[in-house]
């Protein structure tokens, strides 16, 4: 099975190499801005001609937005626009132009209704202060050195890595991996290199291929499982770092920062304080990412079928009382990782409908409550007398949903108003926030069912 993996390593470049990396990132920004200015000038010219009553056939020819056309135009004028262009790799300019071409296509598709999700805005110019320095290499010398402590990139040269590259180096030596591109980026004051790799993986089978597990995601407890597996608490990394971030933000506000109106550069003390604050944000994101990866990897390697809910994350984020904790939990990222990791390990992910009342349905007798307030954390069935934790009851219902469908019992769920409605699980996919849907009240654990 051929899959695409990303391997990321921290770098320890020398001061000279830092300057070279920044020069490449700046070259990408210059190419992006020049091409964008040309596109805007062409659009403005055509709009002005239309206002004068010029016929469509007589308008100035439209400027093509494809990567090929923009790069061809850039190569024609780069000697005048950027006389220093030869000092950087051609991939630096291709990075900026490719990013612009993708942004223009996304904007155009969104405007025409061809692109799902929220409306995309027209791309803007990139500034040195607000743009994350990055550059992508797709051709030239891209390799890992045999000492497993260095990587080589075109023009930039050989860079020392902060960590060992043996995990990727072994695959390349064995012939089971091929590097397709490398991207260098600066985050929180440190440079990283990410390799996009085509990996030949052997077919895997989960440890329990016939096992079905229901996973109920929530805020108080991040994940509750249907098979008695210990629940995973919500670490709330951002809440833990809020006090420190508030203190550092006050320090930054009291320093002399940059002023775009007057052109005032930031002071050294402001830059140091801002770097400290960025490091806290970066650490918080890293801790969250690490926890989600450990959870999803453990589930994908053990269970053959994983059932999750179609949560309306975009709707939940509109709730000002839940937005912060929902964003910190990472519901959408958990589902995204489960989708591809189960494919790698030979399992599958089933997604229950957003209208499936997993929390209001009794896992013992199947009775459905008309209402179940969010403050009620223990489920008590009025029919059979079952008393169970609300989240554990929802997880059991999710697991039983697949088992009943496999058994062929037909429609097995009801909506929140008690009317029969088929809500069988659907295939997993990346459509979490593709459309906006109305909120479902009283269903699930502090959830508006959709994602």
DSSP-assigned states of every residue in 102-128? HHHHHHHHHHHT-S-SSPPPPP----T
Q: Do both 287 and 173 map to the same domain?
A: no
What is the pLDDT, as a whole number, of residue 244? 95
Counting residues of the chain whose pLDDT is more than 90, the rounded percentage is 60
Distances (CA, A) of 207 to 185, 232, 300, 306: 38, 20, 9, 13
Distance in angstroms (rounded) separating the CA atoms of residues 243 and 236: 13
* Residue 272 placed within a domain: no
Please say if 130 is a catalytic residue: no
Regarding predicted confidence, which is higher, 194 or 367?
194
Q: Does residue 216 have an active-site annotation?
A: yes
**Percent of the chain residues topping a pLDDT of 70:** 89
On average, the pLDDT of the chain sits at 86
CB within 8 Å of 346: residues ≥ 6 apart: 203, 204, 205, 206, 209, 304
Nearest to 237 by CA among 319, 148, 373, 330: 330
Residue 418 dihedral angles phi and psi, to the nearest 5°: 90, 0
| 174 and 288 share one domain | no
Q: Are residues 285 and 393 in the same domain?
A: yes
Q: What is the sign of the dihedral through the CA atoms of 436, 437, 438 and 439?
A: negative
Question: What is the arithmetic mean of pLDDT over 395-420?
Answer: 57
> Which position has the token pair 């990897």?
297
Q: pLDDT at residue 386 above 60? A: yes
Which residues, listed in sequence order, are joined to residue 351 by a DSSP beta bridge?
A: 308, 426
- What kind and span of H or E run contains 378? strand 378-380
Cα angle value 269/270/273 (rounded, 5°): 85
The pLDDT score that the predictor gives to residue 356 is 86
Point out the least confidently predicted range of 21-30, 50-59, 93-102, 336-345: 50-59
272-284 pLDDT, tens digit per residue, is 999 999 999 999 9
Residues 345 and 422 in one domain: yes
Active site residue 109: no
Query: Are 227 and 376 contained in the same domain?
Result: yes
Among 308, 333, 349, 337, which residue's Cα sits nearest to residue 206? 349
Scan for tokens 């791309």, then name that residue: 123
The answer to whether 411 touches 420, Cβ cutoff 8 Å, is: yes
Instruction: Report how far residue 206's alpha carbon sits from residue 179's, in angstroms, rounded to the nearest whole number.
Output: 28
Range in 35-39, 315-319, 333-337, 404-408 with the lowest mean pLDDT: 404-408
Task: Quickly list H helices, 230-330.
Answer: 237-253, 268-302, 313-316, 323-329
CB atoms within 10 A of CB 162: 13
pLDDT over 50 (residue 111): yes
Domain assignment present for residue 254? The answer is no
Q: Average the pLDDT over 358-387 and give the result.
A: 85
Closest CA to 315 of 441, 171, 142: 441
169 lies in some domain: yes
Using the predicted structure, report yes or no on whether residue 72 has a pLDDT greater than 70.
Answer: yes
Structural domain boundaries enclosing 92: 15-112
Same domain, 227 and 355: yes
Verify that 223 and 351 share a domain, yes or no. Answer: yes
Query: Alpha-carbon distance 259 to 209, whole Å?
Result: 59
User: Are 146 and 165 in the same domain?
Assistant: yes
Long-range CB pairs of 321-326, under 8 A, 24+ apart, other chains included: 322/219, 322/446, 324/238, 324/239, 325/219, 325/234, 325/236, 325/239, 326/219
Q: How far is CA 397 from the centre of its chain?
A: 29
CB atoms inside a 10 Å sphere around CB 191: 21
Assess whether pLDDT exceeds 90 at residue 118.
no
Q: What distance in Å separates the CA atoms of residue 117 and residue 136, rounded to the nearest whole number? A: 26
pLDDT of residue 418: 37
pLDDT of 379 reads 86
Q: Could you tell me if 202 and 292 are in contact, meaning their C-beta atoms sit under 8 angstroms apart?
A: no
Beta pairing class for 134-137 and 2-10 = unpaired
Q: Quick check: 410 pLDDT over 80?
A: no
Could you tell me the two tokens for 41? 């000038």
Q: Given the residues 91, 309, 328, 432, select the one marked as catalytic.
A: 309
Q: Do 217 and 363 belong to one domain? A: yes
Instruction: Evaluate whether residue 240 is within a structural domain.
Output: no
**Are 168 and 151 in contact, with CB atoms under 8 Å apart?**
no
Q: Answer yes or no: is pLDDT of 419 > 80.
A: no
In this structure, is residue 7 part of a structural domain? yes
The answer as to whether 356 is a domain residue is yes
pLDDT at 448 over 90: no
pLDDT at position 405 is 59
Please say if the pLDDT value at position 413 is more than 90: no
pLDDT greater than 80 at residue 134 = yes
Measured in degrees and rounded to the nearest 5, phi and psi for residue 53 equal: 90, 15
Q: Higher-confidence residue: 353 or 195?
A: 195
Helix, strand, coil percentages in the chain from 3-state DSSP, rounded to 5 = 40, 20, 40
Residue 54 has pLDDT above 50, yes or no: yes
Q: How many domains does the chain have?
A: 3
The single residue of 98, 216, 392, 432 carrying the catalytic annotation is 216
For residue 328, being part of any structural domain is answered with yes
Same domain, 229 and 375: yes
How confident is residue 312, by pLDDT bands cut at 50, 70 and 90?
A: confident
Catalytic residue among 91, 310, 328, 391: 391
Pair (292, 146) in one structural domain: no
Assess whether 224 and 354 both reside in one domain.
Answer: yes
Q: Is 80 exceeded by the pLDDT of residue 82?
A: yes
Structural domain includes residue 433: no
């Amino acid at each position: 099975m051929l899959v695409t993996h990303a391997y990321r390593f921290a770098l320890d470049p020398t001061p000279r190499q830092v300057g070279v990396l920044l020069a490449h990132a700046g070259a990408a920004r210059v190419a992006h801005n020049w091409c964008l200015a040309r596109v805007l000038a062409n659009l403005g010219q055509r709009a002005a001609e239309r206002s004068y009553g010029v016929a469509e056939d007589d308008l100035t020819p439209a400027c093509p937005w494809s990567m090929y056309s923009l790069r061809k135009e850039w190569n024609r004028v780069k000697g005048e626009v950027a006389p220093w262009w030869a000092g950087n790799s051609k991939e630096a300019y291709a990075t900026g132009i490719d990013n612009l071409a993708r942004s223009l296509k996304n904007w155009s598709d969104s405007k025409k209704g061809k692109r799902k999700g929220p409306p995309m805005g027209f791309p803007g110019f990139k500034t040195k202060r607000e743009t994350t320095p990055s550059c992508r290499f797709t051709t030239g010398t891209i390799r890992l050195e045999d000492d497993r402590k260095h990587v080589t990139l075109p023009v930039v040269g050989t860079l020392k890595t902060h960590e060992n590259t043996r995990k990727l180096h072994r695959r390349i030596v064995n012939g089971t991996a091929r590097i397709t591109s490398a991207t260098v980026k600066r985050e929180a004051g440190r440079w990283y290199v990410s390799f996009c790799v085509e990996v030949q993986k052997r077919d895997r089978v989960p440890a329990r291929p016939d096992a079905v597990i229901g996973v109920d995601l929530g805020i108080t407890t991040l994940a509750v499982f249907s098979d008695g597996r210990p629940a995973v608490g919500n670490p709330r990394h951002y809440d833990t770092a809020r006090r420190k971030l508030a203190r550092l933000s006050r320090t930054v506000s009291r320093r002399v920062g940059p002023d775009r109106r007057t052109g005032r550069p930031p002071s050294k003390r402001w830059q140091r304080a801002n770097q400290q604050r960025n490091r806290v944000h970066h650490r918080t994101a890293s801790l969250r990412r690490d926890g989600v990866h450990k959870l999803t990897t453990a589930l994908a390697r053990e269970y053959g079928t994983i059932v999750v809910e179609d949560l309306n994350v975009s709707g939940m984020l509109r709730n000002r009382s839940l937005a912060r904790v929902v964003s910190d939990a990472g519901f959408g990222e958990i589902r995204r990782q489960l989708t591809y990791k189960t494919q790698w390990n030979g399992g599958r992910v089933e997604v229950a409908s957003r209208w499936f009342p997993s929390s209001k349905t009794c896992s013992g007798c199947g009775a459905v409550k008309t209402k179940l307030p969010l403050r009620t954390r223990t489920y008590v069935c009025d029919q059979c007398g079952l008393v169970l934790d609300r989240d554990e009851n929802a997880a059991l219902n999710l697991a039983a949903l697949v088992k009943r469908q496999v058994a062929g019992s037909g429609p097995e769920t009801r909506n929140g108003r008690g009317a029969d409605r088929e809500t069988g699980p659907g295939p997993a996919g990346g459509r979490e926030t593709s459309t906006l849907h109305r909120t479902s009240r009283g269903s699930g654990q502090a959830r508006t069912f959709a994602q």
